[in-house]
Amino acid sequence: MSQNQDLLNSKAICTVCGSDSTRFYIETNAMMHPENTESYRFFSCDNCSSKFLSNPVKESDLAQYYTESYLPYRGSSAWGKFSKFVEWDDQKLNQSRRKVIQPYIPESSQIQILDVGCGKPDFLAEVAKDDQFNCTGVDFVEADWENEKYKTIDLKACDWKHSEWAQKFHIITAWHYLEHDYSIKETVAKFQDLLLPGGYLIIEVPMFEGVLLKLQKQFWQGWHSPRHLNLFSKKSWGMIFNSDNWSVIQHHQFGTLSAFTLWWLGFRQKSTTNWSGSMERYFWSLVLFKILLAPFFLFEKVIPFGIQTVIIQKNR
């Protein structure tokens, strides 16, 4: 049997809804990684329409994909003399995330908020400027956590799903976390356990149902293989968060991450890019594209590009 036929016939269980009615969808290489011929196969689910990685690497082997080539870990320093622009962009991002949570803040003198997969906790630092918030962040590893600017945030380095928590939360945020998750079912149960009744869950993830996947195909940065395992369809949210316990109250076909940035990363993925080198050399071409494509990306809240935000409330 040819390899292609083999792919078409093989079965994989949907990581989002658990259905075994799935089919091969697209093949990618390891992305934002030194040039390679590694093969990652995403399948499509007939039941919930989500796409998922059928051959993930073991969670314990993931560290080899979080190296110098992985830009988010290097942060603004990857941009050398242009790092100030990137810091400024980052600040705008965290301010817009702060705006997203605004309508869901309860009337309470002390609000508990948890950010899952907080990384460098700059979003929480933005939230903590308002002292009615008690901010907690969790991630597997520490990232510059000793920095003075994070001193009012309670930070935990652990596998949050298997740890004990002293408090419950009014709001849980997960910015680009859920697409990396190895067990959605367990995660939803933990969200259920940690949220107060009536509390809100704010999730931002890539969205394959958009223009960028159509344009960029296997280079679309939403795949981000092998780090991303789950690409959620719009329909899947109501299936994962069942109506007995949850209400999906908002779904936006945009997010706080800029659609232009997502496009540009895919464009660099398709071109030869030394991800571990200095990004300085790409700075001016990035600026040029940003200007040229501005009329197109101006409509990022109207045209679905490739990012989605979903607001889910835990039933009272």
The residues of the shown chain that bind Zn ion, judged by CB under 5 A, are: 14, 16-17, 19, 45, 47-48, 50
Q: Shortest gap between Cβ of 49 and Zn ion (angstroms)?
A: 7
Q: Which is nearer to Zn ion, 115 or 181 (CB)?
A: 181
Q: Which is nearer to Zn ion, 19 or 55 (CB)?
A: 19
Q: Shortest gap between Cβ of 106 and Zn ion (angstroms)?
A: 33
Q: Shortest gap between Cβ of 40 and Zn ion (angstroms)?
A: 18
**Single-letter amino acid, residue 245:** N
Q: Which is nearer to Zn ion, 46 or 130 (CB)?
A: 46
Q: Which is nearer to Zn ion, 16 or 111 (CB)?
A: 16
Q: Which is nearer to Zn ion, 111 or 310 (CB)?
A: 310
Between strands 169-175 and 307-314, the pairing is: unpaired
Rounded to whole angstroms, the Cα distance separating 77 from 41 reads 33
Q: Which is nearer to Zn ion, 45 or 128 (CB)?
A: 45
Q: Shortest gap between Cβ of 255 and Zn ion (angstroms)?
A: 22
**Who's near 232: CB < 8 A, 6+ residues apart?**
16, 50, 178, 179, 205, 207, 240, 308
- Count CA atoms closer than 13 A to 68's CA, side-chain side: 8
Over its C-alpha atoms, the chain yields an Rg (Å, rounded) of 19
Q: Which is nearer to Zn ion, 16 or 57 (CB)?
A: 16
Burial of 268 (0-12, 13-18, 19+ CB in 10 A): buried
Q: Shortest gap between Cβ of 24 and Zn ion (angstroms)?
A: 14
Q: Shortest gap between Cβ of 242 and Zn ion (angstroms)?
A: 14
For the chain, the straight-line distance linking the first and the last C-alpha, in angstroms and rounded, comes to 54
**Who's near 250: CB < 8 A, 6+ residues apart?**
309, 310, 311
Q: Which is nearer to Zn ion, 82 or 232 (CB)?
A: 232
Instruction: Kindly tell me the sign of the dihedral angle through the C-alpha atoms of 233, 236, 231, 119.
Output: positive
Instruction: Kindly tell me the sign of the dihedral angle through the C-alpha atoms of 236, 240, 241, 242.
Output: positive
Residue tagged 């040029």 (tokens)? 288
Residue tagged 């979080």 (tokens)? 66
Q: Which is nearer to Zn ion, 14 or 100 (CB)?
A: 14
φ/ψ of residue 38, rounded to 5: -60, 145
CA angle 285, 286, 287 (to 5 degrees): 90
Q: Shortest gap between Cβ of 54 and Zn ion (angstroms)?
A: 12
Q: Shortest gap between Cβ of 39 and Zn ion (angstroms)?
A: 22
Of 29, 11, 34, 36, the C-alpha closest to 21 is: 11
User: Is residue 34 reached through a cis peptide bond, with omega within 30 degrees of 0 on the bond before it?
Assistant: no
DSSP bridge partners of 174:
203
